[in-house]
Structure 1
């Protein structure tokens, strides 16, 4: 019988056996020197926090619970792995057993947390029950599912290593791939698939690719660069129905057009996982709502990563997660620290049109000013007082301005503060 309440030194095999849900006994509190810090989620945020905690405190008990296999991998690499010829196994790093040994923590692969009893500080899982001292929800986000009629067997999303493995399997013998979504992830996959020899069609609501993040001039250049790889575009449009055809599938679009494809990859965005937080009575909005110390509305429960909402914003990028890891590590170890987010440019993985951007704060009135370069453009977003508060750099030459423009944005931010 597996007792997840007791400290142990190693997990069982990587592939989880079927374990019946049982009521497990917890040793008396006196036998435990300190209640464990339990992290739900083994993504970048979850494992990153576990590593930071272990580095700061060699003795604190740390447990990571994950529905996945527990392997360490880079989620950003999923949208660029095909062109690099990377299999799912090649993208997979350490096994959970190796992570346990390296960090001296306990990892529970294929562990589903069914309910959080915040009053008793207990987790109800498919392996049984577990107590926690402090709990961190690093439960991530799930792909948004659009209501599409017809044969949705053609449709898949890629959000983890297992999804990537399914994509690789489904691409065998496939020639035509339609991507639903013209945002950042959709464009990254379009670049990756087209570079790998697939005929790619992108279907999206925007007037140009990445419309929410890019001025039109930059969006059109990105569209042109991907078109030169063979990507075709169906913008200001959406997918309504998927029907089997003699050769693959026929996709019916809102404007009456049809697209032939063998596979449809949905990349319309992610939605934070909220259901588990709700079982604990944690306040949620667009994400799990946290304060400046990343604590939720329930004492002793924190949240980190793609699932959080802070000051009304979602921050689904690696840079803010890194800031959160450093601050939350100190808070959990008894030195409360408020998380601070510096200006954090985002690099988009579209080699056909190298792209770096710093989105302006939502709601700031201003205008984009674009300057062409030899291989792209440089665009700055200026507020009504003429201060630079965001930028887009497209092309290798424009990237050389990154640090200068970032410094200008930082100076403008300090002047306002």
Structure 2
């Protein structure tokens, strides 16, 4: 098969892979499409995982379509539970399951993987991380009988799961290395306001602390903190962050840093290979959020259809799904002067540059109502 007649191949069937396939099919109904995934290929919305407990959702009810249904919708061939072993960039060939396939274009949408805590842990079977539907299903099953849950990490995912797991009635302990919550996303005043709200909800907070070891204890775990104190729990949820999956790309000789390096058209350092989503470092930016992903999807679908299109990023505020104290934040890209205002039932922190132009904000509680108006005043992230 010549590369001209070869399929578009997409590695990954997450939000990036499936949304790209759907958007691309609007322009191209005839080119063969092959998709490969290491998991079941079920279509679901990953952001909904961290609100599933409070909404009484299971992995099954979160599933919108299985791989078979997606294959029908996308006029695609989808191979599930397979790993791509190698990419030959010169011959435009991928190897998987003992097969070799030519590609016309190849899109790596392999996503991200959870960062493992570099600590002693003799209770690995009681320690969970959630970054996909299968991991969520395992964690939810374990949490059914848990009365005490320890969450490590006070960033976006850790805070969203803390909020969500409060609905189970379990006692939640949260350990965060920084002195407040959401320190990488929000102004300290908003992070501190969430600390107060979680405390009111009964969360056992350990700020400025780190877990140094986890050991099994009967049917649960004992976690040792850096001050020597200990916490007991039935299970642990590690939410210390994710990193881009780049191993396959590095093996193929593609240029990578934190993610697979691509330009504004999502082109990698190898011809006819693109990267999209959590694994892609777009013009120096690696953003693990849905809004930039969708901007890239729309641009790349056009490029793959014969109309090279550079992606642009508007201002993209991040919504943190902590219903007990909802937050929306758009952190400034550089140093800024902050002005903080307490509102009725909320808090508004606005970031200004030297010209007194708005360059970011953090909103909490009722102040999130100002999100749309403030976002219009922000500069584009990538024009």
Structure 1 position 130 matched with structure 2 position 101: yes
* Residue 22 (structure 1) aligns with: none
Max radius of gyration: which structure? 1
Q: Which of 297, 307, 310 does residue 325 from structure 1 map onto?
A: 297
Q: Which of 100, 105, 108 does residue 79 from structure 2 map onto?
A: 108
Q: Hey, what's the Cα distance between the residues in 2 that align with 1:133 and 1:210?
A: 42
| Contact in 2 for aligned 1:191/1:229 (Cα 8 Å) | no
- After superposing the two structures, state which structure 1 stretch, 110-119 or 134-143, moved more: 110-119
Structure 1 position 244 matched with structure 2 position 189: no
The 1:82–1:127 alpha-carbon spacing in structure 2 relative to 1, beyond 3 Å, is farther
Structure 1 position 253 matched with structure 2 position 225: yes
Q: Hey, what's the Cα distance between the residues in 2 that align with 1:150 and 1:158?
A: 18
| 1:150, distance to aligned residue in structure 2 (A) | 3.2
* Residue 57 (structure 1) aligns with: 28
| 1:386, distance to aligned residue in structure 2 (A) | 1.5
| 1:247, distance to aligned residue in structure 2 (A) | 5.6
Structure 1 position 394 matched with structure 2 position 364: yes
* Residue 203 (structure 1) aligns with: 175
| 1:246, distance to aligned residue in structure 2 (A) | 4.2
| Contact in 1 for aligned 2:295/2:311 (Cα 8 Å) | yes
- SS for the counterpart of 1:97 is helix
| Contact in 2 for aligned 1:376/1:398 (Cα 8 Å) | yes
Q: Render the CA deviation track for 1:334-382: whole Å, top value 9, x for unaligned.
A: 1101111111111111101111111211xx2212211111111111111
| 1:34, distance to aligned residue in structure 2 (A) | 2.5
Structure 1 position 87 matched with structure 2 position 28: no
Moved segments of 4+, more than 4 Å: none
| 1:401, distance to aligned residue in structure 2 (A) | 1.2
In the alignment, structure 2 segments of 5+ residues that lack a partner are none
Q: Hey, what's the Cα distance between the residues in 2 that align with 1:261 and 1:141?
A: 28
* Residue 40 (structure 1) aligns with: 11
Relative contact order (alpha carbons < 8 A, sep ≥ 6): 1 or 2 greater?
A: 2
Q: Hey, what's the Cα distance between the residues in 2 that align with 1:46 and 1:206?
A: 34
TM-score by length of 2: 0.96
- SS for the counterpart of 1:408 is coil
* Residue 295 (structure 1) aligns with: 267
Aligned residue runs from structure 1 range 128-207, under 5 A: 128-153=99-124, 154-207=126-179
| Contact in 2 for aligned 1:365/1:384 (Cα 8 Å) | no
Q: Render the CA deviation track for 1:123-169: whole Å, top value 9, x for unaligned.
A: 11125221111000000000001111131422110011100110012
- SS for the counterpart of 1:389 is strand
* Residue 285 (structure 2) aligns with: 313
| 1:233, distance to aligned residue in structure 2 (A) | 0.8
- SS for the counterpart of 2:116 is coil
Aligned residue runs from structure 1 range 202-221, under 5 A: 202-221=174-193
| 1:91, distance to aligned residue in structure 2 (A) | 0.8
TM-score by length of 1: 0.89
| Contact in 1 for aligned 2:318/2:329 (Cα 8 Å) | yes
Q: Which of 244, 254, 257 does residue 272 from structure 1 map onto?
A: 244
| 1:319, distance to aligned residue in structure 2 (A) | 0.5
Q: Which of 372, 377, 386 does residue 347 from structure 2 map onto?
A: 377
Q: Hey, what's the Cα distance between the residues in 2 that align with 1:393 and 1:143?
A: 28
Structure 1 position 99 matched with structure 2 position 59: no
Q: Render the CA deviation track for 1:287-317: whole Å, top value 9, x for unaligned.
A: 1000111000001100000011123221111
- SS for the counterpart of 1:313 is coil
Q: Hey, what's the Cα distance between the residues in 2 that align with 1:34 and 1:307?
A: 28
| Contact in 1 for aligned 2:155/2:183 (Cα 8 Å) | yes
- SS for the counterpart of 1:285 is coil
| 1:254, distance to aligned residue in structure 2 (A) | 0.6
| Contact in 1 for aligned 2:123/2:221 (Cα 8 Å) | no
Q: Render the CA deviation track for 1:160-218: whole Å, top value 9, x for unaligned.
A: 11001100121132111101101010000000111221111111111100111112211
Q: Hey, what's the Cα distance between the residues in 1 that align with 2:235 and 2:264?
A: 43
* Residue 406 (structure 1) aligns with: 375
Q: Hey, what's the Cα distance between the residues in 2 that align with 1:215 and 1:38?
A: 42
In the alignment, structure 1 segments of 5+ residues that lack a partner are 1-27
* Residue 7 (structure 1) aligns with: none
Q: Hey, what's the Cα distance between the residues in 2 that align with 1:247 and 1:137?
A: 41
- After superposing the two structures, state which structure 1 stretch, 125-134 or 341-350, moved more: 125-134
